[in-house]
Structure 1
C-alpha cells in the first residue's frame, strides 16, 4: 500500500514540477498574454499524468483483489494465465519499485471488466475549468490591480517586484495543488467506479498521507465505506494525497491511523465541522 500511495504522490509532484517550470518561463508582466499557451500546457500535463495514475490504480486494484479473493479480474492490462507473480510484476512496473512477488500458477479468472473507460471529454473539461478558476481568473484580477500598484514606479521597483513574485508563487501553489488533485483523480475515480461494478468488491477505506488535514482525518475515521452506501463520495481536495483502498473480504484490517482518527472522533463527542477542525488541530499540535 505504501508503494502505491508514494507512486501516486510522486505523479502529483512530477506534475507540479512540470507546471512550475512552465510558469517560470513566463515573465509576470507578460503572463496575461500567454494564457492560451499556459492552458494548453496545463491541461496536457494533467491528462498525461492522470492516464498514468489510472494505469497504476488498475494494477493496484487487480493485485489487491487477487490477494484477497484468489481470483483475477479482467479489464485493461489483463493477460491470460495471470498469476500473483505476474500481477506483482505489473504493479512493480507501475510503481517503479520492486515491492513484492508471488507464485506463477495461473489464477481463476472473473472476466468481467469493472473499469470504466476514461472519459476524456470530462477530464478535459475539469482541467479547463480548474485552469480558469486557478489561473486565468486570478491573472485577470492581478492585471486589474497592476495600474494602481505600479503607478509611476519603475518596473524594477523593489515593492513591485516583491508583489509580482508573491503573486506568481501563490498562483503556482494554488494551480499545482488543484492540478495534482486531478492527476490523482485519474486513479481514484477508476477504483471508485470499479468498486460499484465488481460483484467481488465490498467497498473501500480512505488511506491518508502522513499529515492529513482535518477533513481527510474525519473521512478516514469512518473506516470502511460499503457499496450499499452509494452516496458516499470520496471527496478529495487540492493538495490531498488520500487514496481509495478497495476491500474484498470482511477480514480486512484498517491502518492504525484510521483507528486513531476514529478514537479521536469519539473523544470529540460531536459538533460542527468548524468545531472538529479546531479540536483536531489542537489535538495533533499537542501530540507533536
Structure 2
C-alpha cells in the first residue's frame, strides 16, 4: 500500500519537475506570447504521467484482488496463466522498485473487465480547462495589471519582485491542478472498477502523512461500501490520497483512519468550517 501511494506521488512529482523546467525557460513578460506552446507542453506532460498512473493503478488493483481472493481479474494487460509472482512483477515494473514477490502457481481467472476505457477526449478537455484557469486566465489578469502600472524599467526591484510572485503563484496553481489530473488517471480507474467488479466490496481512503481537513474527514468515514455508491472519489489539487480497494471483510484500516474517525466523534458536529478550525487545532504537527 505504501509503495503504491509513493509511486503515485512520484508520478505527480515527475510531472511537476517537467512542467517546472518548461516554465523556467520562459520569462514572465514572454508568457503571454507563448501560451499555445505552453499549453501543448502542459497537456502532454499530464497525459504521459496520467497514463503511467493508470497502468500502476490497474497493476495494484489486480494484485490486491488476487492476494485477498485468490483470483485474478481480466482487463488491460492481463496475461493468461497469471500468478501472484507475475502480478508482483507487473506491480514492481509499474513502481520501478522491487516491492514484493510471490509464488508462480496459476490463479483462477475472472474474465470480466471492470476497468473503464480511457476517455482521451475527456482527459484532454480537463487538462485544457486546468491550463485555461491556472495559466491563461492568470496571465491575462497579470497583463492587465501590468498595463495599469505604466512603464517601468526591467531592472526595477519592485517589478522584478512582482513578476517573481506572479510566476511562483502560476507555478503553484498549475502544478497542483496538473498533479491532481495525473493521479486521477489511476484514481478514476480504481474507483470505476470497484463499481463494476462483482468481487469488490468497496474502498477506503488512504491519506498522505499530513492530510488537509477535508481529506482527514473523508478518511475518517472508514470503508465505503458499494451500497453507498459515490459519484467521485473527491481529490483536490496537491492531494495525494488514494482509494484502496477492499475485497474481503477481513480488511484492516490504517491507524490514521481510526484516529480521524475518533477526532470527528470528539468534534461533536458543526459546519465544515467549524471542523476545519477544530482539525487545525488538534491535528499533530
Query: TM-score, normalized by length of structure 2?
Result: 0.99
- Please give the per-residue CA displacement for 1:85-127, whole angstroms capped at 9, x wherever unaligned: 1100110111011111111100000000101111000000000
Distance 1:233 1:35 in 2: 31
Distance 2:240 2:168 in 1: 21
CA RMSD in angstroms, aligned pairs only: 0.8
Unaligned 5+ segments in structure 1 are none
Classify the secondary structure of the residue corresponding to 1:244. strand
Query: Which 10-residue stretch deviates more, 225-234 or 166-175?
Result: 225-234
The offset of 1:148, in angstroms, is: 2.6
The offset of 1:230, in angstroms, is: 1.6
Classify the secondary structure of the residue corresponding to 1:22. helix
Match of 1:243 in 2: 242
**Equivalent runs, 1:1-288 vs 2, <5 Å:** 1-149=1-149, 151-231=150-230, 233-284=232-283, 287-288=284-285
Moved beyond 4 Å, runs of 4+: none
- Please give the per-residue CA displacement for 1:149-190, whole angstroms capped at 9, x wherever unaligned: 3x2321110000100011001000000000000000000000
Classify the secondary structure of the residue corresponding to 1:200. coil
Query: Which 10-residue stretch deviates more, 251-260 or 140-149?
Result: 140-149
Distance 2:42 2:227 in 1: 37
The offset of 1:232, in angstroms, is: 5.2
The offset of 1:16, in angstroms, is: 0.6
- Please give the per-residue CA displacement for 1:210-233, whole angstroms capped at 9, x wherever unaligned: 000000000000001111112353
Query: Which 10-residue stretch deviates more, 227-236 or 238-247?
Result: 227-236
Unaligned 5+ segments in structure 2 are none
- Please give the per-residue CA displacement for 1:237-284, whole angstroms capped at 9, x wherever unaligned: 000000010000111000000000000000000000000000000001
Is the contact between residue 203 and residue 224 of structure 1 (CA under 8 Å) also seen in structure 2? yes
Distance 2:50 2:148 in 1: 40
